[in-house]
Amino acid sequence: MVRSLKARGLAGEMAAEFVGTMILILFGCGVVAQVVAAGIGDHDSIAWAWGLGVTLGVYVASRISGAHLNPAVTIALAVFKGFEWRKVAPYALAQTAGAFLAALLVRWNYTEVLNAKDPGLTIKTQGVFSTLPGNGTLPVGDWGAFRDQIIGTAILVLVIFAITDLRNTAPAANLAPVVVGFLVVAIGMAWGTNAGYAINPARDFGPRLASWLTGYDTAFTDQYGFPYWWIPIVAPVIGAVIGGAIYKYLIERHLPADAPLDALPAKDLEPAS
């Protein structure tokens, strides 16, 4: 089941990551805009839309690029699963660009209701696009958010590795995106308080940049006035490596040797030949 990375070329893989991540953010930031600015929906609708956005984004991109849709996942695959390091930066760039464009579309489409809800484009609606400690209102500091993002992303990567490993009890290949989507829903429902479960540097930085360019002057700081933009970038990368290590050394090494060889994310999350 090893798949060649040469057949479609890096440009095709980047295009797939770009569009797949764009789909993810269109649903994710779109639902938050609807809830925050229009008052339609609630926390559960946000969690479900983010999860469904992941599922749909993976279905769009997986055949070509493997649908990482997340630089932290890409780095974990390079560390533990043989994904080529030379492709890490291009994948991350494509993912961030897709998230940026999607956020611009959400910002444009919801211009009227965002301006009505928050004419000054302040931290009151900044969370539509990027995360904040305690979602901008709860008593959580930056280091609490940093800790939270490490834990949440470790859970994400650990379970993704399990879901995509055929030596484990993996779902059928065409159902794996659905299960990954359920995983994101569960993380949102259980780990959304302290930092808004970004668990994805592209998901946070791309929309953060888009919001800053379209009038949100405080986009790169938190409600305390401190620079916050780096936390949803650095902490998820650390968490992804921790989650990958937990799976590799506590689960993968104990799987039956006579089972099918690794169907790791670097294969199901790699391009098809």
Query: Domains (ranges, CATH) in the chain?
Result: 10-254 (1.20.1080.10)
Q: Above 60 in pLDDT, residue 272? A: no
Cα–Cα nearest to 3, from 78, 52, 76, 65: 65
Q: Above 80 in pLDDT, residue 18? A: yes
More confident: 171 or 117: 117
More confident: 269 or 172: 172
Q: Above 50 in pLDDT, residue 106? A: yes
Mean local confidence (pLDDT), 56-81 = 97
Q: Above 60 in pLDDT, residue 48? A: yes
Work out the pLDDT band at 259, boundaries 50, 70, 90: low
Q: Above 50 in pLDDT, residue 13? A: yes
| Confidence (pTM) | 0.91
In this prediction, residue 269 carries a pLDDT of 52
How high does pLDDT run on average in the chain? 92
In this prediction, residue 158 carries a pLDDT of 98
What would the pLDDT profile of 77-94 be if each residue is shown by its tens digit?
999 999 999 999 999 999
Cα 164–chain centre separation = 17
In this prediction, residue 263 carries a pLDDT of 43
Mean local confidence (pLDDT), 26-32 = 98
In this prediction, residue 53 carries a pLDDT of 98
Q: Above 90 in pLDDT, residue 267? A: no
Which segment, 117-126, 169-178, 250-259, is predicted with the most confidence on average? 117-126
